[in-house]
């Protein structure tokens, strides 16, 4: 069983409603909480992230969570759903203030470690364009990193799909509906149908959803006047590791150009990223979860996370971890078990000790079975 931990950090952080673009109150609260827990320094960085530091060693372990949430405030409350089983309801309790609070508590309980600096980051804007994570990639050069997203306390996440968005657009001169001439609406729908057919063909021999392209139609719009009709479809692709966003854009242009349908890239394209399953960080988590009496598991997710942003830059052993049931992400019923939170804090604290202790690192090498 996990040792008992105070959930004050979790409850306090979740109580600070802060959707993307409105995180400042939550950031200020977390900085003050870090200071009260004994972090040597805790400040708001140039991007607006909350950053707490423990230790001054040359080696660095970064625990990167995100502090923003999707919109939709949920009244924060504790409920005892079974005797001794407390559950916290509130926006961000799962995605992803729960993991961030667990990072904060675990790091503070471990204290200073000779030769190491622990960096806990509450990044802003993950639910939109990951401005917070993009702002820290060049500021830190970690030996190891842990990214905070809900995996369930007894599982680790090893990868996230990539994503790329585009508009398909067509213009056509107005014509009589009986003329047989293609309308702008028909042109973009025809292009969409061909893209969907190509995606189906690409996916035929892929057994795992993480290896497939997931196509979505995100919006439709058309307008016309006396002389011209304009139509637009907004499409998205969730991409596997083997298929980069630039390949995706090339493919949809290849389909659309001959149809006189133009394409426009939107937002930030995000490549997929998968962690090394045999890294020392993964092995440390497997050992720490087993230490709590549970059999660990692995997860690959079809969404995106700050892992996609920092992974290709930092290129160090890393993993994604955090308490909470990810099926509750963005839902009006978002909640987390206090017992699960406590277990995750114990796991993270053990992982930090293993990664920063030479003897524990040697022991971890044989933990994978």
Measure the CA–CA gap between 179 and 175, rounded to whole angstroms: 7
How far is C-alpha 262 from the geometric centre of its chain's CA atoms? 31
* Alpha helices by DSSP H, the chain: 8-14, 24-36, 97-110, 131-136, 184-203, 245-256, 280-291, 306-314, 338-356, 358-364
Residue 327 DSSP class: G
Q: Catalytic residue, from 95, 105, 125, 126: name it.
A: 126
**Which residues, including other chains, have CB under 8 Å from residue 173's CB and lie 6 or more apart?**
227, 228, 229
* β-strands 262-270, 162-173 pairing: antiparallel
Measure the CA–CA gap between 240 and 242, rounded to whole angstroms: 5
Measure the CA–CA gap between 22 and 151, rounded to whole angstroms: 25
* β-strands 116-123, 59-66 pairing: parallel
* Residue 68 bears catalytic tag: yes
Q: How many Cβ atoms from other residues are within 10 Å of residue 168's Cβ?
A: 25
Query: Are the CB atoms for 14 and 88 separated by under 8 Å?
Result: yes
Please list the residues that pair with 221 across neighbouring strands. 232
DSSP 84-115: TEEEEESTTTTTTHHHHHHHHHHHHHH---TT
List the structure tokens of 364.
Answer: 């971890």
Q: Catalytic residue, from 68, 127, 143, 149: name it.
A: 68
**Which residues, including other chains, have CB under 8 Å from residue 247's CB and lie 6 or more apart?**
none
* Residue 126 bears catalytic tag: yes
User: Which residues are part of the catalytic machinery?
Assistant: 68, 126
């Amino acid at each position: 069983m996990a040792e008992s931990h105070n959930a004050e950090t979790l409850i306090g952080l979740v109580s600070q409603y802060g959707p993307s673009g409105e995180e400042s109150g939550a950031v200020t609260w977390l900085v003050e909480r870090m200071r009260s827990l004994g972090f040597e320094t805790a400040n708001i960085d140039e991007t607006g992230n909350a950053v707490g530091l423990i230790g001054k060693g040359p080696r660095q372990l970064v625990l990167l969570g995100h502090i923003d949430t999707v919109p939709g405030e949920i009244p924060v409350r504790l409920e005892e759903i079974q005797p001794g089983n407390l559950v916290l309801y509130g926006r961000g309790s799962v995605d992803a203030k729960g993991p961030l609070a667990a990072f904060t508590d675990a790091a503070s309980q471990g204290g200073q470690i000779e030769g190491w600096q622990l960096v806990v980051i509450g990044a802003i804007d993950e639910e939109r364009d990951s401005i917070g994570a993009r702002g820290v990639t060049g500021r830190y050069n970690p030996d190891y990193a842990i990214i905070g997203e809900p995996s369930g306390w007894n599982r680790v996440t090893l990868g996230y799909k990539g994503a790329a968005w585009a508009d398909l657009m067509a213009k056509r001169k107005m014509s009589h509906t009986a003329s047989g001439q293609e309308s702008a609406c028909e042109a973009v729908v025809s292009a969409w149908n061909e893209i969907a057919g190509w995606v189906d063909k690409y996916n035929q021999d892929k057994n795992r959803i993480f290896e497939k392209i997931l196509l979505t139609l995100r919006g439709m719009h058309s307008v016309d006047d006396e002389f011209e009709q304009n139509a637009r479809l907004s499409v998205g692709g969730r991409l596997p590791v083997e298929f980069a966003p630039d390949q995706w854009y090339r493919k949809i242009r290849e389909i659309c150009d001959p149809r006189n349908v133009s394409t426009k890239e939107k937002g930030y394209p995000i490549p997929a990223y998968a962690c090394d399953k045999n890294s020392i960080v993964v092995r440390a988590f497997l050992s720490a979860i087993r230490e709590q009496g549970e059999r660990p598991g692995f997860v690959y997710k079809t969404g995106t996370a700050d892992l996609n942003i920092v992974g290709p830059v930092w290129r160090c052993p890393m993993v994604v971890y955090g308490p909470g049931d990810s099926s509750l992400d963005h839902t009006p019923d978002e909640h987390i078990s206090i017992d699960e939170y406590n277990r995750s804090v114990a796991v993270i604290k053990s992982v930090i000790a293993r990664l920063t202790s030479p003897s524990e690192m040697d022991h971890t090498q044989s933990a994978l079975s």
